[in-house]
Structure 1
Amino acid sequence: MSAPLTPPPPPHDHEQAAASYPYGKAGDVAYPRHGWWDGQDGPGMKAEIREAAVTTVAVALGGVLLGVLWWWLAPRVPYVGGVIGDNWVVYPKDSEGEQVIGVDGTFSLLALGFGAVSALVVFLVRRRGGVPLVVALAVGGLLGSLLAWWLGVRLGPAQDVIAQARSAGEGVTFDAPLKLSAKGALLAWPFAALVLHLGLTGLFGPRDPEQFSPAEPYVSPGA
């Protein structure tokens, strides 16, 4: 006579059942919840959105420093004013000068540097990616570039070149207003931030755990 087969004891609680069957519909007794919104797996969508909003504001405020550096480091474009008839005219002192290109280039290089720094700081603080965070970096970088452009123009020489020419006198050189001719430079910050952050996340970010197939239900040999 063979000994009776004893079936395995049932799970003692929900946690043991969830560990045995890790896949299933959220909310089932035997399965854990994997809701992104309710925060059971990671910080949750609400926390992600809050962190993304803070990141956007923090990155955008960096545009103040970018604007000051641009105004300080950008080359000056010399202009000269004169009187023709009864009217004042203003023209560049050096028609073949590269100062205008230097103004745009200075902004672009500074923006690329700010993009790299912001991406590195955000990665070191968060240590992972996520769609809200990537969008925050892009939007914050673009807003920071716009703020830097606006502030640099305001800090630079006055926009009324005729008034400047009259104030300086006929034939006297004065600095032209600071302006950004290549508007594509505004995208340098968000582009650099996105590329570097995605690269850092891909190289050093956390890896997703390996997924295992669900355990087969126990079947008694005598069944």
Structure 2
Amino acid sequence: MYGVQASYGQDGPGMKTEVREAAVVAVVVALSGALLGVLWWWLAPSVPLVGDIVDKNWVVYFKDTEGEQAVGVDGTFTLLALAFGLVSAVAVFLIRRRGGVPLVVALAVGGFLGSLLAWRVGVWLGPTQDVIAHAKDVGKGVAFSAPLKLGAKGVWLVWPLAALLVHLGLMALFGPRDGEPYQQQAEGHPQQGPYGTPPV
């Protein structure tokens, strides 16, 4: 019986340790969303707007109604989120080879919170949200950049989903394998019964 109890201790850290590690992973992954937000603001295409006066009221419209810049803003965020999901999953796998439910949940939660933080940082760094005031400042008919925004909020899920898929794939390919039953016999030890006693 003592042999069985000792083998259980080799399965990995206790649940409290896994939860603590998962909490650290979630916080670090989420905070890295600030970097994603900066990159999104820097790399996203500018969406030009134009202000005009109609019936003594300012109106704002797209300068190029056929332009695809707005789609490019979402696409830039999506590609960056995919890259951050890949990097975070690989980093967590290399640091903590042995998986676990808390770690997987931490990746998903951290990725989602990181996406929200990236969105808020990008919007904060980008042009002002008050487009009417911006149009008045630059003048009638003068193009200016629209504020950053995401047309499809579903892109918030790209990072956590990418991180989960990559991490699970790495665990399946390179993760530790369960030991064979009666592994001690292969190591030169006498074969034992199911309760650590010699077989009858």
Answer whether TM exceeds 0.5 for this pair.
Answer: yes
**Paired position in structure 2 for 1:13:** none
Q: CA deviation at 1:42?
A: 1.9
**Paired position in structure 2 for 1:145:** 115
**Paired position in structure 2 for 1:134:** 104
**Paired position in structure 1 for 2:62:** 92
Q: CA deviation at 1:128?
A: 1.6
**Paired position in structure 2 for 1:25:** none
CA RMSD of aligned residues (A): 1.7
Aligned with 2:2 (options 12, 18, 24): 18
The answer to whether the aligner puts 1:186 opposite 2:156 as a matched pair is yes
Aligned with 1:77 (options 28, 44, 47): 47
Report the TM-score, using the length of structure 1 for normalisation.
Answer: 0.80
Could you tell me how far apart the structure 1 residues matched to 2:141 and 2:91 are?
50
Q: CA deviation at 1:41?
A: 4.3
Unaligned segments of structure 1, at least 5 residues: 1-16, 23-30
SS of the aligned residue for 1:158 comes to coil
Could you tell me how far apart the structure 2 residues matched to 1:41 and 1:89 are?
65
Return 205-214 or 93-102, whichever deviates more: 205-214
**Paired position in structure 1 for 2:28:** 58
**Paired position in structure 2 for 1:171:** 141
Could you tell me how far apart the structure 2 residues matched to 1:136 and 1:191 are?
12
Aligned residue pair count: 189
Report the TM-score, using the length of structure 2 for normalisation.
Answer: 0.89
Q: Which amino acid aligns with 1:42?
A: G
Q: CA deviation at 1:53?
A: 0.2
Q: CA deviation at 1:33?
A: 8.2
**Paired position in structure 1 for 2:187:** none
**Paired residues of 2:60 and 2:132 also in contact (CA < 8 A):** yes
More helix by share: 2
Comparing both chains, which one has the higher relative contact order based on Cα–Cα distances under 8 Å and sequence gaps of 6 or more?
2
**Paired residues of 2:12 and 2:98 also in contact (CA < 8 A):** no
Q: Which amino acid aligns with 2:118?
A: A
**Paired position in structure 1 for 2:185:** none
After superposition, residues 99-110 of structure 1 pair within 5 angstroms as 99-110=69-80
Q: Which amino acid aligns with 2:146?
A: A
Change (3 A) 1:157 1:218: closer
Q: CA deviation at 1:74?
A: 0.1
Q: CA deviation at 1:138?
A: 0.3
Q: CA deviation at 1:58?
A: 0.5
SS of the aligned residue for 2:67 comes to coil
Q: CA deviation at 1:211?
A: 2.5
Cα deviation 1:20-47 (Å, max 9, x = unaligned): xx3xxxxxxxx5584xxxx674210000
Q: CA deviation at 1:18?
A: 2.4
SS of the aligned residue for 1:107 comes to helix
Could you tell me how far apart the structure 2 residues matched to 1:96 and 1:218 are?
79
Which structure has the greater CA radius of gyration? 1
